Amino acid sequence: MAAAQLPYKQLALFYFSGTGNARFAAHKIAAFAREKGVEATVYNIAELKKDVPEIPESTLVGYCFPTHGFNAPPVLLKFIRKFPKGKNHVFLLNTRAGMRIGKLHTAGLGGLALWLPALLLLFKGYKTIGFRPLDLPSNWISLHPGLTDKAIRFIVNHCEQTLERFTGKILSGKPVLNGLLWLPADIIISPVSVAYYFYGRFALAKTFFASYKCTGCGVCIDNCPVGAIELKNDRPYWTYSCESCMKCMNHCPHRAIETAHGYTFLLWWLAFSLLPLLIIKLLVIMEVISAAFYKNNFDFLFNGSSILFGLIIVFAGYKLLHQLLRVKIINKIITFTSLTHFRWWRRYKAPA
């Protein structure tokens, strides 16, 4: 379609990105749009803070963001909540954890990542005409080593073609509804999305630490897109506002940021298994809970106690970890029981 015939003359793209995938998608879409004569502007949500630009009603608005815990990142949801009301057409593109298995490019799973922002935008008067998950290389390196360069190239090439087709279609005013195909799986996984949003993400943010290789250079603090890392006793400390986006771990020039697998395993076992059990038993001994009630409602008591006390113990344990890390030998033990410290546990480099 010639530029003059396209229904949108302008495109405003807002992105949030941890390791660069969503940024890559936003800039690619902008570049393809410009080739078609559409004026495209890209905004980084993390840099905009409160200054939301004015968007004319004829502008197509796009949001690109990673999927975190089968949901959109809280920072994006917060941004949309503050976004002024409007009647623009909008598209949503969530980048998910793509992998390469043999010759296959496998998909991640979005959960509520598209649906919650779409709902918020609907309340504000916007009309979402595009739902598109995009499976760029997985960056969740707390869980698995970063993909090989070859796998990354394979996935990125594939995604680049998808983005070109997507841009052409969405700019011509046609709805892009690929996201709808995932709706059944997204609904099934949605309880996990909710649990992650209200609970899991806080526990996860408390798994990062700076190893003995840390020089206190502050690169992680300066680069954190949500300003969640503070310097405490000359060491980086991850606060509750951490989105676990993985930017710090991938940007550290000394490869000093790790996930404390060994320590976290121990702490989570204490927080979600041993201590809740001991607390209930103590309440029975103190006759706050009757033995009969304990016997008949054990599962309820145990799960309730884990949910209630688990996070408190995790938070207290993280504060303790921060103190322990100051002792070099303990720092080394915690580092050596972290999987991410192995050289073969690659970091993730997003396409430029």
Ligand X SMILES: Cc1cc2nc3c(=O)[nH]c(=O)nc-3n(C[C@H](O)[C@H](O)[C@H](O)COP(=O)(O)O)c2cc1C
How far apart (Å, rounded) are the C-alpha atoms in residues 58 and 203? 42
Would you tell me the crossing angle of helices 328-336 and 261-269 to the nearest 10 degrees?
90
x/- site string to ligand X, residues 104 to 133, per CB under 6 A?
----xx------------------------
For the bound state, the minimum distance from the C-beta of residue 246 to ligand X, rounded and expressed in Å, comes to: 5
For the bound state, the minimum distance from the C-beta of residue 75 to ligand X, rounded and expressed in Å, comes to: 11
How far apart (Å, rounded) are the C-alpha atoms in residues 142 and 140? 6
129 SS3 class:
strand
For the bound state, the minimum distance from the C-beta of residue 162 to ligand X, rounded and expressed in Å, comes to: 13
Q: Quick check: 259 binds ligand X (CB under 6 A)?
A: no
For the bound state, the minimum distance from the C-beta of residue 93 to ligand X, rounded and expressed in Å, comes to: 10
Q: Quick check: 59 binds ligand X (CB under 6 A)?
A: no
Of 186 and 305, which CB lies nearer to ligand X in the complex structure?
A: 186
Q: Quick check: 245 binds ligand X (CB under 6 A)?
A: yes
Nearest residue (beta carbon) to ligand X: 108
What is the separation of C-alpha 144 from the centre of its chain, rounded to a whole number of angstroms? 15
For residue 201, give the nearest of 266, 133, 111, 274 by alpha carbon: 111
Among 20, 146, 236, 317, the residue binding ligand X under the rule CB under 6 A is: 20
Among 59, 167, 207, 244, the residue binding ligand X under the rule CB under 6 A is: 244
75 to 104, contacts with ligand X by CB under 6 A?
95-97
Residue 243 to residues 101, 197, 216, 253, 294, Cα–Cα distance (Å): 28, 10, 21, 21, 38
Contact 57, 124 (CB under 8 A): no
How far apart (Å, rounded) are the C-alpha atoms in residues 75 and 241? 9
The span of 1-9, 29-37, 63-71, 160-168 binding ligand X (CB under 6 A) equals 63-71
Among 21, 162, 211, 340, the residue binding ligand X under the rule CB under 6 A is: 21
Q: What are the residues whose beta carbons fall under 8 Å from the beta carbon of 77, sequence distance 6 or more?
A: 116, 117, 120
What is the number of other CB atoms lying within 10 angstroms of the CB of residue 318? 22
The span of 60-68, 146-154, 277-285, 322-330 binding ligand X (CB under 6 A) equals 60-68
The span of 148-156, 238-246, 254-262, 302-310 binding ligand X (CB under 6 A) equals 238-246
For the bound state, the minimum distance from the C-beta of residue 265 to ligand X, rounded and expressed in Å, comes to: 18
Rounded (10°) CA dihedral 56, 60, 61, 66:
-170
Among 32, 140, 209, 237, the residue binding ligand X under the rule CB under 6 A is: 140
In the complex, the residues that contact ligand X under the rule CB under 6 A are 17-22, 66-70, 95-97, 108-109, 136, 138-140, 244-246, 350
